[in-house]
């Protein structure tokens, strides 16, 4: 009877371990750069499954393998993704947080990195870790991202920009070009000076001719 109960209990715990998986992933909304970022993984298992606080377990992902055409299924493999540390356990739900992500150097490649919903929980190689978690805020997360530097040159006080001499030269040349006489205008003015006396004498000569003609006519009539 005792042997039967032991076998039944072992079979039940094994079936629970096979059914354990990540059912949801949630992250808090930060309001400032100093707020701590938390990302919780919810597992559909309670204390009866063997989970307990500070237990580090492995999250594995089932990958279906097909041939190049995609029509024939070859089989499926379980690929380790990373490790989760249980921080709280309830009746039917356990809450865990990311402990570490496993390198792909000696493990099969994953199309999507990071632990996500649907990944299974494997208790093989699990251990207890009592170290304090490392806090990670928004500013620390952004510090790991590459920063592109932009060089901005600021002119030194007392020195003029490089374009100032060119502008000054244009300003100096402008009045000189305005003072230079236009050859066409100068020629017209000279022509007017030459033709003005002749034009003024022409009406006088015509008037004198008419007066002489009138006087000669009057003289002939008197005779």
| Residue 127 or 190, more confident | 127
State how far the Cα of 79 lies from the Cα of 7, in Å rounded to an integer.
29
For the cut 80, the answer to whether the pLDDT of residue 27 exceeds it is: yes
Res. 143 pLDDT band, cuts 50 70 90: low
| Residue 180 confidence class, pLDDT cut points 50, 70, 90 | low
Confidence class of residue 184 from pLDDT cuts 50, 70 and 90?
low
Question: Whose CA is closest to 100, among 76, 64, 127, 78?
Answer: 127
Q: What is the pLDDT of residue 70?
A: 86
Q: Report the pLDDT averaged over residues 49-71.
A: 95
Alpha-carbon Rg for the chain, nearest whole angstrom, is 51
- What pLDDT is attached to residue 172? 46
- 200: DSSP letter: H
Q: What is the pTM of this model?
A: 0.55
Q: What is the pLDDT of residue 196?
A: 65
Class of residue 31 by CB neighbours under 10 A (exposed 0-12, middle 13-18, buried 19+) = exposed
pLDDT in tens, 31-58: 999 999 999 999 999 999 999 999 999 9
Q: How far is CA 67 from the centre of its chain?
A: 39
Region 82-88: mean pLDDT is: 98
- Give the Cα separation of 70 and 10 in Å (integer): 39
Q: Two tokens at 95?
A: 């809450």
- Please give the DSSP secondary-structure letter assigned to residue 148: -
Average pLDDT over residues 76-102: 97
Q: For 48, which DSSP code?
A: G
Judged against a pLDDT cut of 50, whether residue 147 lies above it is answered with no
- Residue 102: pLDDT band with limits 50, 70, 90: very high
Residue 165 or residue 93, greater confidence = 93
CA distances from residue 203 to 42, 189, 196, 198, 214 in whole angstroms, order as listed: 119, 22, 12, 9, 17
The span from the CA of 128 to the CA of 87, in Å, is 11
Q: Quick check: 123 pLDDT over 90?
A: yes
For the chain, what percent of residues have pLDDT higher than 70?
53
Confidence of residue 132 (pLDDT cuts 50, 70, 90): confident
pLDDT of residue 222: 46
Q: Across the chain, how many H-helices and E-strands are there? A: 4, 6
Under DSSP, is residue 162 helix (H, G, I), strand (E, B) or coil? coil
Mean pLDDT across the chain, nearest whole number? 76
């Amino acid at each position: 009877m005792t042997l039967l109960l032991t076998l039944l209990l072992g079979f039940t715990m094994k079936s629970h371990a096979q059914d354990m998986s990540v059912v949801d992933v949630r992250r808090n909304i930060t309001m400032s750069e100093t707020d701590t970022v938390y990302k919780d993984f919810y597992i559909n298992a309670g204390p009866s499954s063997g989970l307990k606080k500070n237990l580090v377990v492995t999250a594995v992902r089932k990958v279906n393998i097909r041939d190049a055409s995609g029509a024939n299924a070859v089989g499926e493999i379980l690929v380790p993704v990373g490790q989760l540390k249980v921080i709280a356990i309830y009746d039917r739900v356990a809450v865990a947080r990311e402990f570490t992500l496993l390198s792909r150097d000696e493990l099969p490649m994953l199309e999507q990195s990071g632990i996500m919903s649907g990944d299974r929980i494997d208790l093989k190689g699990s251990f207890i870790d009592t170290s304090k978690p490392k806090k990670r805020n928004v500013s620390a997360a952004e510090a790991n991202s590459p920063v592109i530097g932009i060089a901005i040159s600021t002119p030194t006080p007392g020195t003029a920009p490089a374009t100032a001499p060119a502008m000054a030269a244009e300003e100096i040349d402008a009045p000189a070009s305005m003072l230079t006489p236009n050859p066409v205008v100068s020629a017209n003015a000279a022509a007017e000076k030459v033709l003005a006396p002749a034009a003024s004498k022409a009406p006088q000569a015509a008037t004198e001719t008419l007066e002489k003609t009138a006087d000669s006519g009057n003289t002939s009539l008197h005779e």
